[in-house]
Amino acid sequence: MKIMIVDDSRAMRSIVRRSLRKAGFGGHDVVEAHNGAAALEMVGQDPPDLILADWNMPEMSGIDLLRALRAAGNAVSFGFITTEGTEAMRKLASDAGARFLLAKPFTPEDMAKQLEGLIK
Partner 1 sequence: MISKKAMDAAASALIEVCASFSDVELELLGEPRPFEPNGFVMGSCVSLTQPEGTFSLAVLGDERSCEVMTRALFAMEPDEEVGKEEHADALGEIANMTAGAVKRSLTTIDGEELLLGLPLFFSGSDGLQYVRKGVDVITQEVGGEGLELQVVLICQRGRSCEVKAA
- Positions touching partner 1 (CB under 8 A) are 9-12, 14-15, 18, 56, 83-86, 103-107
We find the least distance from the C-beta atom of residue 26 to partner 1, in angstroms, to be 13
Nearer to partner 1, 87 or 117 (CB): 87
Nearer to partner 1, 44 or 58 (CB): 58
We find the least distance from the C-beta atom of residue 46 to partner 1, in angstroms, to be 25
We find the least distance from the C-beta atom of residue 96 to partner 1, in angstroms, to be 20
What's the DSSP call for residue 83? S
Ordered DSSP codes for 4-71:
EEE-S-HHHHHHHHHHHHHTT-TTSEEEEESSHHHHHHHHHHS--SEEEE-S--SSS-HHHHHHHHHH
Nearer to partner 1, 18 or 44 (CB): 18
We find the least distance from the C-beta atom of residue 73 to partner 1, in angstroms, to be 33
Residues written for the chain: 120
Rounded Cα distance between 20 and 111, Å, is 7
